[in-house]
Amino acid sequence: MADDFWNKPRPGSLEAVAIGCTCPIFDNNRGAGTDDDGGWDVSYGCPVHWPRTAEPAEKES
Ligand SMILES: [Zn+2]
């Protein structure tokens, strides 16, 4: 599904940060993944990892 994601440096890794990633470095253990679930914590609006088509979680009206 999200092939794009796997073609990029992991969130929080030095490689990702070098190309503009704004995801948490420490929370992601520098790209190794979070301690919680083995996934990654992606920052809202990260230019590298935030999906282009993603919608805001909540919309104020
Ligand atoms: Zn990122």
- pLDDT tens for residues 2-61? 567 678 899 999 999 999 999 999 999 999 999 877 789 999 899 998 866 555 555 555
Q: What is the pLDDT, as a whole number, of residue 1? A: 45
Q: What is the pLDDT, as a whole number, of residue 31? A: 93
pTM: 0.71
**d(CA 52, ligand 1 centre) in Å:** 13
How far is residue 52's CA from residue 31's CA, in Å, rounded to a whole number? 21
**d(CA 43, ligand 1 centre) in Å:** 6
Q: What is the pLDDT, as a whole number, of residue 17? A: 96
How far is residue 10's CA from residue 54's CA, in Å, rounded to a whole number? 19
Secondary structure class of 21 (helix, strand, coil) = coil
| Three-point CA angle 9, 13, 18, nearest 5° | 80
DSSP 30: G
**d(CA 10, ligand 1 centre) in Å:** 7
**d(CA 22, ligand 1 centre) in Å:** 5
H/E segment holding residue 4: helix 3-6
